[in-house]
Amino acid sequence: MSEDLVQASARPFGRFAYLRLGSTTLLHLRKSKYIRTPLTKAEETRKPDGIVILPRGGVKAVVEVKTPQELTAKKLPAIIEKYSPIAAACCNLLIITDGRKSFWINPHTKENAQINGKDVREIFNPVVVSEGELSNEQTATLVDLIDRCDQHLNGLNNALEAAAILDPSPLARSVWQKIWISTGKEPEKCLYNVVEIFVFKFLSDLGVLTGTYSFKSVVDKISEGPEVPLDFYGRTIRPRIRALFPAGEDRTTIINGTIFVNEQGDPNPSQASLFNEVIEAFQQFDDEHGSMRNIEREFKTRLYESFLRQSAGVKSLGQYFTPRNVVQAMVRMSQAERLGPGARICDPFCGVGGFILETIAEVESIRSVFEPVNGKVRPSIQLRGYDKGSDEKEDERTIILAKANMLIYLSELLTKYNTDAYLKEFSEHAFNDVFKLLRTNLGTFKLVKEEPYDLILTNPPYVTSGVTSIRNAIEAEGLTDAYPAVGKGTESLAITWIVSHLKPGGRALVVVPDGLLVSRPMLDYIQAECVVEAITSLPSRTFFSTVKKTYIIELTKKRTSGEEQKTPVLVSLISEIGESRDARRLSLEQNDLTEMVEAHGFFQANKARFKPTSPRIKVLSWAQFSELRNWQVDRLWTREEREALGIEEERSEIDEAGFRELVGTTIRELQGFLEVTDD
């Protein structure tokens, strides 16, 4: 090892570090594992002035420092010719600089790197970098350019495209499996720890966690001893994350893993080796693919569902997740983009926050309300997601996952306004104000005096077992008047809460089970209070943990209770949702939801004149719809129509209450038939 490498101290900037050299050759760098590719004899003796490295990764740029007198237009070509082979031997970027002007060269073609046809001229000043004087904005710019050069420059291309959009799903799955196999813990506990380390790496790549608190600092600690990195993370970095993103009134924040640290937050030395393996896996992914600043939207939306494909986790976690294709369809049907300042949006049973987060992702006017104004974050549209919990750590985790995922959805804001003051504003008025854990057995059902909402999007729990204890608790709290007994399961309580918490003219899109749509008292209650806009039949196995048949019901709160509906109802029959309905949940080309959403838009624009063009969609006049004994609209398609659509008879499950309602409906229909035949 050369004297340079023994004495040198790499100066971090962002995810990278700059290492100033002198007598060090490429051979020294290879022996020290900074270079991992083979070198020719001629290349081995080359001596760069400096290198940009990724800790425990490779060389990302060779830096050659010259005087202003050397960097003339006349002399520059010879310098490029001389130093390009040095850079080409170990990376995709040569930076030639005198500290006041810089040339970003593709060493493979010996030509300038370009963006939109213009040469890159961003200043790389080794002195400023070495002394740690870069601003956050300068650091982010340099890191982004080096990433793009690393990804795009080659022997055929000098143009820098936008930074690659990453899909870290393979990394997340492999790390999850590593933790699961090594610890034997429940799959969901392993998930929370994957998410925590992912958030740590993500915040580092955004430049939110820097210096001592960065991911790089933990990577550097690996060489100091097997237990040092975890101890440093648990005692130094984890408290910093909690300080930047303080807990809300419900005492939840964005991290809560309990494998690498215990319930008190102290490092768990027995997991130090596993922690190091996880950190190195994340670092290797970075070396091969680049920063996590730019994450594929599909990964954002499916970060948690992907783990449900692991067989042991399906039942235990499945209750919290609505498939994202279904969520996105409901958001697009909701007309959320029409809402203005003062509007309120709610998911009263939010789980990990899919409906709220997809509304933010889909609607620019809603996403923009989290921009700071005069340094303050005061959203003009209020979003609210509730989840039921207790003082048990296990019950906090869905809200913690929702908050963590909100960071990912709004990452561009964290990068743009990267100050401690903004981060605390963001914590208080973004995710802590949006997502709330209700530490009560009744959860949302206790909130009977909430200010009404303009839009409610949700997939409420639907069970009959235990509903008696919930009703007893409602009675004990003196809330009986808020929940008239018009249905059996918790979904009936949920619908009652939703309808009573809509503003007049407010809209709700709700996933409901088939049993609710055969409960005549429930249907009478809904149509007395709401305009029925649309009902969509979803296929069985739409949800991870049940074969129960489900529907999307869309309602608008009437301005006067009991007012007669005159508008028609849009009904749709969905057979595929864009992913396989088995444990694998693989993407499928067929997604009938897309066609349904498009038809829904035309229907809402002109209900009276809308004519469906798809055999999956029907429009019923209110007179026709009101004659239906139940609202299981898939029965409106004949066997021949279903066969023409390629729909096989589906096996579905129904709960006891739903079965009783279905039998009662059948008996009434038979009695009516007998009366007709007698006449």
Binned at pLDDT 50, 70 and 90, residue 673 comes out as low
Among all chains, which residue has been given the structure tokens 């608008």? 556
Distances (CA, A) of 620 to 118, 516, 571: 59, 20, 8
Query: Cβ contacts of residue 126 below 8 Å, gap of 6+?
Result: 18, 20, 49, 50, 63, 65, 97, 99
Ramachandran angles phi, psi of 476, nearest 5°:
-65, -30
Q: Look up residue 118 and give its two tokens.
A: 């213009």
Q: For position 240, what pLDDT does the model report?
A: 94
pLDDT tens per residue across span 255-277: 877 789 988 889 999 999 999 99
Among all chains, which residue has been given the structure tokens 């914590």? 427
C-alpha R_g of the chain: 30
Q: For position 552, what pLDDT does the model report?
A: 97
pLDDT tens per residue across span 489-498: 888 999 999 9
Strand, helix or coil for residue 203: helix
Helix axis angle, 397-409 relative to 354-362, nearest 10°? 10
User: Which of 64, 37, 34, 36 is closest to 48 using CA atoms?
Assistant: 64
Rounded to an integer, the average pLDDT of 355-375 is 93
Q: Which amino acid is at 296?
A: E
Burial of 571 (0-12, 13-18, 19+ CB in 10 A): buried
pLDDT at 308 over 50: no
The rounded mean pLDDT for the chain is: 86
pLDDT tens per residue across span 314-340: 444 434 468 889 999 999 999 999 999
Give CA–CA dist 143/139, Å, rounded.
Answer: 6
Q: Look up residue 350 and give its two tokens.
A: 């939010």
Q: For position 77, what pLDDT does the model report?
A: 95
Give CA–CA dist 148/150, Å, rounded.
Answer: 5
Distances (CA, A) of 206 to 149, 412, 416, 428: 18, 9, 9, 20
pLDDT tens per residue across span 469-480: 888 889 899 999
Q: For position 528, what pLDDT does the model report?
A: 95
Strand, helix or coil for residue 312: helix
Strands of 116-168 (E only): list them: 118-119
- According to the 3-state scheme, what is the secondary structure of 427-440? HHHHHHHHEEEEEC
DSSP secondary structure code for residue 647 in this structure: P
Strands of 208-364 (E only): list them: 344-347
Please state the pTM of the whole predicted model.
Answer: 0.81
Rounded to an integer, the average pLDDT of 399-419 is 87
Q: Residues of the chain with pLDDT > 90: what percent?
A: 51
